[in-house]
Amino acid sequence: MPKKIIYFVSLLVILSSLSIFTYLQLTKTPIPSVNDISPTTGASQLKVDYVVSNYASYGSVFDPIVNINVKTPKGPKLMEFMLDSGAVVSAMPKSTLADFNLTFDYLNRIVVKGHGSTFFAYMSNITVQINGKEKQIPVLFTDTNVGSKVLGRRGFFDQYNVEFNSEQKKIIIKEF
């Protein structure tokens, strides 16, 4: 039982941080797509330039944001995700359900509690396409339209090594 509580509190913290991230962001430069980057010779590796945003209280800060193709019934769709190694699982707002021809009716619902609020999240899977390869990852669809799409540890960080290289100002994603 304690593991479930930790899981739910972690998810709530992630979703709350997404709301704050969206609220505080003042400017945004175009986001490079990992699908536009050719792998280096040898390993399957993708390099994505840092995206820098200006925040009222912190100034210029890089945001771990990438555009990744996601498989939908209408074909691949480029979607913006925040890479979040603190997130247990990937999450998407309910506004993205239509992209997958999904409704909450047939998804497994869980209750998320913490920080004085309670909300529902619905479990499913999505298929990401990186460098021509497809990988299925678990995702929670939130019952709110607020927040960013997040790629978390389960399904993404456990299938890829992700390096934030501040010297090169790049995010480097390597397939296992």
CATH number of the domain at 111, please. 2.40.70.10
Mean pLDDT, residues 90-116: 88
Tens-place pLDDT, residues 31-71: 444 444 333 333 567 888 999 999 999 999 999 999 999 99
Distance separating alpha carbons of residues 40 and 174, to the nearest angstrom: 10
Q: How many domains does the chain have?
A: 1
The range of the structural domain enclosing residue 89 comes to 2-175
pLDDT above 70 for 21: no
Tens-place pLDDT, residues 69-92: 999 999 999 999 999 998 888 999
pLDDT above 50 for 29: no
Distance separating alpha carbons of residues 124 and 139, to the nearest angstrom: 5
Residues 6+ apart with CB under 8 A from 127: 70, 71, 134, 135, 136, 137
The percentage of residues in the chain with a pLDDT greater than 70, rounded to a whole number, is 73
DSSP annotation of 43:
S
- Return the closest-CA partner of residue 12 out of 154, 147, 156: 147
Beta-strand relationship, 75-83 and 45-49: unpaired
pLDDT above 70 for 146: yes
- Return the closest-CA partner of residue 88 out of 52, 117, 114: 114
Distances 155 to 20, 152, 162 between C-alpha atoms, Å:
24, 7, 13
| Average pLDDT across the chain, whole number | 79
* pTM metric for this prediction: 0.73
Q: What is the pLDDT, as a whole number, of residue 6?
A: 56
Residues 6+ apart with CB under 8 A from 79: 67, 68, 69, 70, 96, 99, 149
